[in-house]
Amino acid sequence: MDAPSFWQKNHSSNPVDKQTYFEYHTVDFSRTLGLVTPMNYEWPKKVIIDCDVGVDDALALILAFHSPELDVEAVTGVNGNVPLDLVFENIQKVLCLIQPKNKPLIAKGADRPLKGEPVYAYSFHGKSGLGKARIEKKKHEEWYRIFSGRADELIPKLVRQHPNELTLIAVGPLTNVALALQRDLEGMTMLKEVVIMGGAVRVKGNVTPYAEFNIFVDPLAAKIVFESGLPITLVPLDVTHQVCLTPKVIEERVKPLNNLFSQFVVEATQYNSTTQRFLENSEMFHLHDPLAVGVAIDQDLVGMKRLSIDVNTREGDYYGQTKEVEGNLKINACLNVNSKTFLELFLSRLSS
């Protein structure tokens, strides 16, 4: 079956989705010399996104909802970049911007780590958690359904409704996922896949020389999740530090799109059009969380290795470190990425 017939058989007639699909896969076909075709994708993939919105979380949500390969069933919030109430408010704001027709379920999760005090990242994500972006929440227009219970209740409940079909994309500290495992381990084993943005395996951390933010905030939760035996794909700084927006990309590719999403990218990343720099005079903005969504869309974007990874939960210099060790509990760690192809995917999905 050729690609257009495949599309017509499996997808709605939304012309924008169709256009962005072919823009991305034009790149995909040339990259893989035809070895990977759309027929290899089992899509749309049902996903739950657990996040701590967060600028790059917001960009990850835009990418996910704009990708016909994914069907986002729910968005759950966890304490992380900013406090939980703000995270939950930001989830609602970003969904008002995206206006998803399927009105996903949303739920609040943990308001603190399993152990230790919360650590926030206001300096990077701004007071609101969305940089300088301002999104109005319109009361008469609701683009989500609020689940009455907590995130750690909703996640296994949905997994049980769709056994071996759901992919969980976790792009915040792993507190909600660890609590869900403690609440319903059997239900969680019915997850098809867990894609986690977190850790620094063979590179330096971004909070300390050894630890990445999501893991540093709640190492105990990360340890519980890593040792759960779930089918985990880890998207660590090793790869997320290789994908970024640059001033050139903003000026030449994002701004000309001239739509609500391109405007959001510019404001949320706190890009200064005069100096042509991001925050603190930086020349790049890393797309950490969007890459986790990218990996859920297309695993061929990354190179992986099966590794046993230990999380250091002991106080001290190595707190939150994710280290390769000998062992049988393996996870798929992404160690290299096709940055250019991912960036093209991300940019193509901003235009819808």
Least Cα distance to 244 among 140, 343, 337 occurs for: 343
In the bound complex, what is the minimum distance in angstroms from residue 170's beta carbon to Ca ion? Answer: 9
3-state secondary structure of 330: strand
Kindly state the helix (H) or strand (E) to which residue 101 belongs, with its residue range.
none
Pairing relationship of beta strands 302-311 and 322-325 according to DSSP bridges: antiparallel
Closer to Ca ion by Cβ: residue 91 or 97 = 91
Shortest reach from residue 81's CB to Ca ion, in Å = 6
Cis peptide leading into 236, omega within 30 of 0?
A: no
Cα gap 64→71, rounded to integer Å: 8
Choosing from 66, 241, 286, 288, which is the catalytic residue?
A: 288
Contact 292, 197 (CB under 8 A): yes
Q: What minimum distance in Å lies between the beta carbon of 56 and Ca ion?
A: 6
E-assigned strand segments in the chain: 45-51, 70-77, 105-108, 145-146, 166-170, 193-197, 232-235, 244-245, 285-286, 302-311, 322-325, 330-337
- Closest separation in Å from C-beta 230 to Ca ion: 19
Longest Cα–Cα distance of the chain, Å, equals 57
Using the minimum distance from each CB to Ca ion, give the nearer residue, 57 or 218.
57
Asked if 155 contacts 190 with a C-beta cutoff of 8 angstroms, the reply is no
Residue number with CB closer to Ca ion (129 or 156): 129
Please answer whether residues 51 and 289 qualify as being in contact, where contact means their C-beta atoms are separated by less than 8 angstroms.
Answer: yes
In this complex, which beta carbon is closest to Ca ion, that of residue 184 or of residue 232?
232
Least Å from the CB of residue 220 to Ca ion: 18
Structure tokens that stand for 269 in this block: 């990343």
Would you tell me which residues interact with Ca ion (CB under 5 A)?
52, 54, 57, 171-172, 289
Determine whether 286 is an active site residue: no
Between 243 and 253, name the residue whose CB sits nearer to Ca ion.
243
- Transcribe 58-82 into DSSP letters: HHHHHHHHT-TTEEEEEEEE-SSSS
Helix axes 339-350, 55-65, angle to 10 degrees: 80
**Least Cβ distance, residue 94 to Ca ion (angstroms):** 12
Closest contact distance (angstroms) between CB of 125 and Ca ion is 9
C-alpha to C-alpha distances, 113 to 81, 188, 259, 294, nearest whole angstrom: 12, 20, 37, 27
Q: Which residue in this structure is represented by tokens 């590179």?
A: 203
Whole-number Å distance between alpha carbons of 184 and 182: 6
Q: Which residues are catalytic?
A: 288
